[in-house]
Amino acid sequence: MSWFKKIAEWHLKLGHQIVPIDEFDEHQLAGQAYELAGQSTVNILRDKELNLVAVENGRVIGALFTSLVAESYSFDVVIAPEFQGKGIGRELIDAGMMEFQQLQGDMPEIEMNLDVTNPMLQDVLKRRGLGIKQRIGNDRAIMG
């Protein structure tokens, strides 16, 4: 079973859908996802592509943006404020990590490098086995 199918099954149990951006109305969902990212404190860099969206009642409530540049993989997750704390971010993080594992199977030389500015997110990622590679100030770290 692909990493996407696993994530999609988990989310359907929670009452929302996780969809790859190319399987639905790309323009509408992508526009909503980028608008959501623009309203958040997450700085989605130009090298990141919209990968998955969490959708409830036709509305994007979360998004996963990923990037593979040279041998460095990274991702960002953004969640609508009223849906934070409901497990959607955790599952999008898991989707990003599963994609990395799949890529690493084909390209063992790639590394995960996440620029994390949220201390709570740092704790979540530590519980998933990531470590701090570089500390930048008090709240910012490169993790992988």
What's the pLDDT tens digit per position in 114-129? 999 888 889 999 998 9
Cα 120 to Cα 113: distance, rounded to the nearest angstrom: 17
Which pLDDT belongs to residue 59?
A: 86
Query: What's the predicted TM-score (pTM) here?
Result: 0.80
* Res. 10 pLDDT band, cuts 50 70 90: very low
**Residue 79, Cβ density class (10 Å: 0-12 exposed, 13-18 middle, ≥19 buried):** buried
Domains present along the chain, CATH in parentheses = 3-111 (3.40.630.30), 113-144 (no CATH)
The answer to whether residue 22 scores a pLDDT higher than 80 is no
DSSP 23: S
